[in-house]
Every structure is written in structure tokens, then in C-alpha cells.
């Protein structure tokens, strides 16, 4: 893979699982990694590991609660106050199996997996643009999922209510479909810039994201063939380094393009989600 020597990368949710493995491999490639997430202790522990693996690297933790848009704004402010270029943003964190609503009243999967990352991305977009060049584009990676296929219809009102289903599969699927739609419209907004974006399905990976599911489901996951976090990070690392500009705005799994559902290709829906997300996050611009 391409060297990332002295490149600055911000990744959300790197305290374990795919995020942690991604951070480790990025550090090995020479990157400076900023870890943003909920647990200070867990992320600082990862930073200690990174410092052993890559003694010359620079690593920092910034608190981030994606279910609280005020925390997202503070995270972006703290990063921008560092006055560092930002070459890659990896929107990796996510929840599955939780129930309820975010602090601003959105269904928790939609609020955390999409809306928090939407706001973070747009707040850091000027930094990503300023750090890019024609030869070395900046990159935005949105961790989506094949589970977007469980989202067979769209209900705007349900996005502003607590979780409704018992299994939360529908809500999770909607949030992952939102990641794909966000990437689709983001690619349009980024035309004529040197910033690339990708949506990624890492595969079915054994991580802590399953911890909120019922015990019977977790037992099933233990006997189902699934990937390790290291294997699950493969497509993320590819998109962070060698994925070509021809894949801009695409949905990728196993390091190659995959076609999402018809809803995941709906440009009209993507544009409406963009506009509503601007409104819901308090951003008063009409484009990136």
C-alpha cells in the first residue's frame, strides 16, 4: 500500500474492532493518527500501543460523542485548533442493537451512524480541501454496510422518533443506507475539488458492535463465519491509500465496487437527505 508518511488521519471509534486495527495499520504506514471517540481510557490505551508500533508517529485523542451534536462540534473545534492539515477522515464508529434516541431526539442508529458523522465531515471539509492536491487527494471514508439491504422503504418521521423495532435491524439498515446516500451526494458536492469519498462495507466482522444484541443472536454470531477485525479493515485501508479516483462516491466491499440497492442509488433521495441533514445539524449552507 501507498506510504502515508506524515499524513494526518482522523478516525472515529478506534478503541477496538475495525477502527483499532485500521489505526494500527495506518500508523505502520507512517501516518499521524487522531483518534476521536467516547472512552478516553480505551483510546489512550490504543495510543500507547501505537507509540510502541510507530515511535516516530504522532497520536492524539479527542473526545467525541456522536449521539450529541454539540459534542461533534466540540470535537471538530478541538481538531481545527491544532492547526494541522487533514488528509484523511475515516467515519468508522457506529452502533447496532441500541434502542432510544440521541440527545437531539433522532433515532439512535440514524443519529450516531449518519447524522453525527455528517456534521463532523462538513465541519472538517475545508481542512480536507486545503490539505489536498491533484497528485495527492484527501479522502473521506464512510463505513456503511451490506445491512443497508434491510432498508426497503424510507420514513422521514421515523428518523425523529426513538427506535421502534425489537431487533433494530430496520433502523440499523436505514442508518447504513444513509451512509451510502451521504457518500453519493457528497461525491456530487465535491466535484472540481481534490477530495475523494467512498462508502465501505467491511464484511460481517466480529467486533463490539454486536454487544447490544440479544444473547441468542450473539450466540448465532459466534458460530457464523465472520471476519476478524484485521480482515474487516482491509477495504478501509485500500480506500485510504490506493483506491483510484474512478471509484469516487462508490460503495466498495472486498476492495472492489459493489452495487447497492435501488434506494442506495437514488440521487433524489440522497439530495433530500443532504438538505434535511443540513437543517437538522444547524448548518445553513446548501453545499459543502
Q: Is residue 143 classed as helix, strand or coil in its secondary structure?
A: strand
| Among 13, 6, 225, 202, residue whose Cα is nearest residue 120 | 13
Kindly state the cell numbers that stand for 126. 475545508
Q: Which helix (H) or strand (E) holds 179?
A: helix 169-189
230 is catalytic: no
Q: Do residues 182 and 270 lie in contact, with contact meaning Cβ atoms separated by under 8 Å?
A: yes
β-pairing, 59-63 with 88-91?
A: unpaired
Among the listed residues 96, 172, 230, 238, the single catalytic one is 172
d(CA 22, CA 28) in angstroms, rounded, equals 10
Kindly state the cell numbers that stand for 37. 471517540
Kindly state the cell numbers that stand for 64. 467525541
* Residue 76 dihedral angles phi and psi, to the nearest 5°: -60, -40
- The catalytic residues are 172
Amino acid at each position: 500500500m501507498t506510504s502515508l508518511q506524515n499524513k494526518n488521519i482522523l478516525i472515529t471509534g478506534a478503541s477496538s474492532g475495525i477502527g483499532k486495527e485500521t489505526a494500527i495499520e495506518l500508523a505502520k504506514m507512517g501516518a499521524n493518527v487522531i483518534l476521536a471517540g467516547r472512552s478516553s481510557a480505551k483510546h489512550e490505551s490504543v495510543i500507547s500501543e501505537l507509540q510502541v508500533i510507530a515511535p516516530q508517529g504522532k497520536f492524539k485523542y479527542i473526545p467525541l460523542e456522536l449521539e450529541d451534536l454539540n459534542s461533534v462540534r466540540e470535537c471538530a473545534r478541538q481538531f481545527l485548533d491544532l492547526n494541522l492539515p487533514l488528509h484523511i477522515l475515516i467515519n468508522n464508529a457506529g452502533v447496532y442493537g441500541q434502542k432510544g434516541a440521541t440527545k437531539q431526539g433522532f433515532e439512535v442508529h440514524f443519529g450516531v451512524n449518519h447524522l453525527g458523522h455528517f456534521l463532523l465531515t462538513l465541519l472538517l471539509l475545508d481542512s480536507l480541501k486545503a490539505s489536498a492536491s491533484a497528485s495527492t487527494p484527501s479522502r473521506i471514508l464512510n463505513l456503511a454496510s451490506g445491512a443497508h439491504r434491510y432498508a426497503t422503504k424510507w420514513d422521514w418521521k421515523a428518523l425523529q422518533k426513538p427506535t421502534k423495532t425489537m431487533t433494530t435491524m430496520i433502523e440499523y439498515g436505514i442508518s447504513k443506507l444513509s451512509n451510502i446516500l451521504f457518500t453519493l451526494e457528497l461525491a456530487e458536492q465535491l466535484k472540481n475539488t481534490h477530495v475523494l469519498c467512498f462508502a465501505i462495507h467491511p464484511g460481517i466482522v466480529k467486533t463490539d458492535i454486536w454487544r447490544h444484541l440479544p444473547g441468542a443472536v450473539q450466540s448465532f454470531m459466534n458460530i457464523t463465519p465472520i471476519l476478524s477485525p484485521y480482515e474487516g479493515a482491509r477495504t478501509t485501508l485500500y480506500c485510504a491509500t490506493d483506491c483510484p479516483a474512478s471509484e469516487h462516491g462508490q460503495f466498495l466491499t472486498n476492495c472492489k465496487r459493489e452495487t447497492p440497492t435501488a434506494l442506495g442509488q437514488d440521487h433524489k433521495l440522497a439530495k433530500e437527505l443532504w438538505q434535511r441533514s443540513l437543517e437538522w445539524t444547524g448548518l445553513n449552507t446548501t453545499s459543502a
